[in-house]
A and B are shown apart, each in its own frame.
Chain A
Amino acid sequence: MDILDLLSVVLLIVGAAFFLAGTMGLLRFPDVYTRLHALAKADNLGLGFTVLGLALQAPGVAAGLKLVLVWLLALAASATLSYLIARRAFAKGIVPWKPEEREP
C-alpha cells in the first residue's frame, strides 16, 4: 500500500465521517431549518473529501477533474435546494424552533 492509497483511505474516511455527522444532524436537529443547515454544509464536505480521495485514484487528469465537476454540481444543487426549501417553509408559516428559556 503506497502513500497515495493511504491518503485516499484517510480522505474517504473523513468524507464518511462528515456524511455521518450530516445524517446525525438530520435526525437530531429540531426543525426543518436547522436540519437544512446540517445537510447542506456537512454533506458538502462529505462529498468533497470523498471526491478528493477518489480523484487520487483516477486514471488521468480529465477523470480526476470530472470527479471535481460532480462535486461542484452536487454543491450547486444542494445549496439551491436548501434555499428553495427554506423559502417555501417560511412562506407556509413554519415557525423556526427556539430553545426554551432556562433559569439562569
Chain B
Amino acid sequence: MRSALNNAREYPVKPLIRRAVLFTALWWILAEGNFVAWGVGLVSIMLALATSLILLPPGPSRLSLTGLAGFLGYFLVQSLKGGVQVALMALRPRLDLRPAVVDIPLRLPEGRARVLLAITLNLLPGTLSAGLESRHLRMHVLDERSPVETEVRKTETHIARMLGLPLEAR
C-alpha cells in the first residue's frame, strides 16, 4: 500500500527531473559554458520542458542507459561502415550497383520506435527506408546480395532494448 502510494507520487516526477537535467545540459552546451545568459536559459529550459511533455508525455516505456550505449556503439560502427561502403562505390571507376526493393515485416510495436528504426536504417550500410506500411517496412537496398534482413533485425533488437519495448515474435 505504502509503496504503491510512493510509486504513484514518484511516477511523473522522475521523468520530469531527468528531462530538466537534459535540457539544462543542452543549454550549458549552447551557451558554451557561459553563465551570463542563464536568465534566458531558465526560460528556454522551462519552455523546452513544457514542449517535451506535450509532444512526448512520459509513458510506460523508459530509456535504458545501457541500451542507449549499446545502440550508440552499434550505430557508430555501422554508420561508419555504411559511409565508407557507399563512398567507395561512388568513387569506383565502374559502378557496381545491384539495387532492389524489399519489404521487411516489423517486430517493433507501432509508433516512434518504428520511425526511429526507419530513420536509423538510412545511415546504416546499403539500406534506405521508403515507407512504413501497417506491418512492413519498405526498403531500397543498394546491393541485393547483402544480408539486409539480418541488419534490420539487429537494429530492431538494439532499439527495443534501448526503449524498453518488447519485440513481437514472428
A41 and B123 contacting across the interface, CB-CB below 8 Å:
yes
Contact check: which of B31, B125, B130 meets A87 at CB < 8 Å?
B130
| Interface residue? B157 (CB, 8 A) | no
Contact check: which of A22, A60, A91 meets B87 at CB < 8 Å?
A22
Complex interface: chain A residues within 8 A of B31 (CB): 62
Complex interface: chain B residues within 8 A of A66 (CB): 29-30, 32
* Cα of A62 to Cα of B31 in the assembled complex, Å: 8
* Cα of A41 to Cα of B123 in the assembled complex, Å: 5
* Cα of A59 to Cα of B30 in the assembled complex, Å: 14
Complex interface: chain B residues within 8 A of A40 (CB): 122-123, 128
A86 and B97 contacting across the interface, CB-CB below 8 Å:
no
B128 and A37 contacting across the interface, CB-CB below 8 Å:
yes
Given that A34-B142, A41-B83, A98-B99 are contacting pairs, would A25 and B131 also be in contact in the complex, using a CB cutoff of 8 Å? no
* Cα of A96 to Cα of B131 in the assembled complex, Å: 14
| Interface residue? B15 (CB, 8 A) | no
Question: Residues of B with Cβ closer than 8 Å to A?
Answer: 26, 28-33, 79-80, 82-91, 95, 97-101, 118-120, 122-123, 125-126, 128-131, 138, 140, 142
